[in-house]
């Protein structure tokens, strides 16, 4: 299947070639003809599947220019808004569409001025869009296409009341497109109340973690996590490592500790200003900071290719977050590694993760690392005890390789 067979016009196809895409991804093959045909569409697809171009390309084709704001894309985070606007920028090289991207945390006046000069498409985070509307800076009464991107995330982040207010500012007759990584009951309710007889398209995540990502568990006590991370970073070739911590505070602290030990790193989390986040992301993308320390909320939408390693410095709260986190590596056909530090306090969630994966994760000790005595949980026993106490077992530790636990564990995981 080629892009031209999907019904895209030559001026859009030029943008597609300029972006270097040769073949459409499955979500694009399914969604583009439906959107071009004017249908409401629900797309169940994660970041990494090509979902952005799946709605941007047909939206550009259907959106007239110089007639006021005719297309509105609402998305939960600034990073996603910027990523979407980059796809619009590249795809609209020959169409002449003008667009604005609006989000909070930065000055509002440049956005007001941009809107005043006239735009065809607005990419927005909900709160700032409402703010701009209340100041009379944007007229949404002629919107013909609405995209709700990452709808599940918007619900999780409590944006639905804002989104609902935005819906009330739009004409009733319009095309609605909704994309979401999951179809939770909350998202289903939004679909039922907002979309008209939608077509549903669905693709599985771009890579199945168990197939493409080497996963390893390193039991370690809380206080040795930073030392272990530094040692691992020193020992192997880490082009770009994304490290997850549980809280903003821990992200900042870890980043500082790494810097002190000579590891260039940056931190990105919701407590940082937009400019700080962008600087961190740019440094990571450019390779100036090979280590990026992040929290779950901001990391989910980060679209950086060539992440060689994901490190769960702190285990995530849920199995779903684990799958999202490790899915940041091994993108675009590359291979990748996911390393998880497991302290005695974190064994509970491991059970859920392994249940979701349908297999166990290989467990290793780092050879030669000076593990503190009597600190490490023995996952083999602790987990087998069904989280009875969640307490640390007793393992003398250093230099031992425990290899895989369980039957099929590692074999199918590395390819
Ligand atoms: P998304 O799921 O929209 O976040 O896209 C994930 C990545 O896939 C982005 O880096 C896109 O540039 C890339 N991409 C999207 N569509 C295609 C395509 N048809 N061929 C190659 N890469 C693509």
Extract the tokens encoding 351. 């059970």
Closest CA to ligand 1's atom 11: 50
Nearest CA to ligand 1 atom 21: 21
286 or 382, which is more confident: 286
* 4-202 and 213-392 in the same fold: yes
Give residue 31 CA to ligand 1 midpoint distance, Å. Answer: 14
Residue 204 pLDDT exceeds 90: no
Closest atom of ligand 1 to CA, residue 16: 19
Q: Sorting pLDDT into bands at 50, 70 and 90, what band is 406?
A: very low
Domain 213-392 class in CATH? alpha beta
Q: How far away, in angstroms, is 324 Cα from ligand 1 center?
A: 17
pLDDT (average), residues 79-104: 96
Ligand 1: residue of 13, 25, 77, 205 to mutate (most ligand atoms within 8 A of CB) is 25
Of ligand 1's atoms, which has the minimum distance to the CA of residue 206?
Answer: 2
Arithmetic mean of pLDDT, 174-191 = 91
Query: What three-state secondary structure class fits 355?
Result: helix
Ranges of each domain in the chain:
4-202, 213-392
| Distance in Å, CA 20 to ligand 1 centroid | 10
Q: How far is the CA of 318 from the centre of ligand 1 (A)?
A: 27
User: Poorest-confidence range of 117-126, 251-260, 300-309?
Assistant: 300-309
Mean pLDDT of 208-228: 85
Q: What is 29-82 written as a DSSP string?
A: HHHHHHHHTT--EEEE--TTSSHHHHHHHHHHHH--SSSS--EEEE-SSHHHHH
CA distance 116 to 137: 7
Residue 171 alpha carbon to ligand 1 centre in Å: 31
Residue 415 has pLDDT above 80, yes or no: no
Q: Whose CA is nearest to atom 19 of ligand 1?
A: 24
Mutate to test the pocket of ligand 1, among 5, 53, 300 (most ligand atoms within 8 A of CB): 53
Task: Pull the structure tokens for residue 71.
Answer: 């297309």
- Tokens encoding 18: 């300029």
Pocket of ligand 1 (CB under 6 A): 21, 23-25, 28, 47-53, 303
DSSP, collapsed to helix, strand or coil, labels residue 73 as strand
Entry field: residues in the chain: 415
Higher pLDDT, 272 or 13: 13
**Does 319 score more than 60 pLDDT?**
yes
From ligand 1's centre to the CA of 21, what distance in Å? 8
pLDDT digit string (tens) for 359-389? 889 999 999 998 886 555 555 534 433 333 3
Q: Which residue has the higher pLDDT, 127 or 377?
A: 127
CATH superfamily of 4-202: P-loop containing nucleotide triphosphate hydrolases (3.40.50.300)
Q: Ligand 1 center to residue 266 CA distance, Å?
A: 25
pLDDT tens for 59-76 read 999 999 999 999 999 999
Task: Report the separation in Å between the CA atom of 56 and the middle of ligand 1, taken as the mean of its atom positions.
Answer: 12
286 Cβ partners below 8 Å, 6+ apart?
A: none
């Amino acid at each position: 299947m080629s892009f031209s067979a999907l019904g895209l016009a030559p001026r859009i196809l030029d943008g597609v070639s300029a972006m270097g895409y040769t073949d459409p991804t499955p979500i694009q093959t399914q969604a583009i003809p439906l959107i071009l045909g004017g249908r409401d569409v629900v797309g169940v697809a994660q970041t990494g599947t090509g979902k952005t171009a799946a709605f941007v390309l047909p939206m550009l084709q259907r959106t007239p220019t110089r007639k006021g704001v005719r297309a509105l894309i609402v998305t939960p985070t600034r990073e996603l808004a910027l990523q979407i606007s980059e796809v619009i920028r590249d795809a609209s090289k020959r169409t002449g569409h003008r667009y604005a991207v609006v989000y909070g945390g930065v000055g509002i006046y440049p956005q007001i001025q941009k809107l005043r000069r006239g735009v065809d498409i607005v990419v927005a985070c909900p709160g700032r869009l409402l703010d701009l509307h209340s100041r009379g800076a944007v007229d949404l009464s002629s919107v013909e296409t609405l995209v709700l991107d990452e709808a599940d995330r918007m619900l999780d982040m409590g944006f639905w009341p804002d989104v609902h207010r935005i819906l009330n500012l739009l004409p009733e007759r319009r095309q609605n497109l909704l994309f979401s990584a999951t179809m939770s009951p909350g998202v289903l309710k939004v679909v039922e109340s907002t979309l008209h007889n939608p077509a549903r398209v669905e693709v599985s995540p771009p890579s199945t973690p168990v197939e493409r990502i080497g996963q390893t568990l390193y039991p370690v006590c809380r206080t040795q996590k930073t030392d272990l991370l530094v040692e691992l970073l020193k020992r192997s070739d880490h082009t770009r490592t994304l490290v997850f911590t549980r809280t903003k505070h821990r992200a900042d602290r870890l980043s500082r500790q790494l810097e002190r030990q000579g590891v260039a790193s940056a931190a990105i989390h919701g407590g940082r200003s937009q400019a700080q986040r962008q600087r961190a992301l740019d440094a990571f993308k450019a390779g100036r900071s090979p280590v990026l320390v992040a929290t779950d909320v901001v990391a989910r939408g980060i679209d950086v290719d060539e992440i060689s390693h994901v490190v769960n410095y702190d285990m995530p709260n849920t199995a779903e977050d684990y799958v999202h986190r490790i899915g940041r590596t091994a993108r675009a056909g590359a291979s990748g590694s996911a390393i998880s530090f497991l302290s005695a306090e974190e064994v509970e969630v491991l059970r859920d993760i392994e249940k979701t994966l349908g297999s166990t994760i290989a467990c290793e000790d780092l050879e030669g690392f000076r593990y503190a005595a009597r600190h490490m949980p023995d996952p083999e026993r602790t987990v087998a005890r069904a989280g009875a106490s969640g307490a640390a077992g007793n393992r003398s530790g250093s230099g031992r390789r425990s290899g895989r636990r369980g039957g099929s564990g590692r074999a199918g995981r590395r390819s």
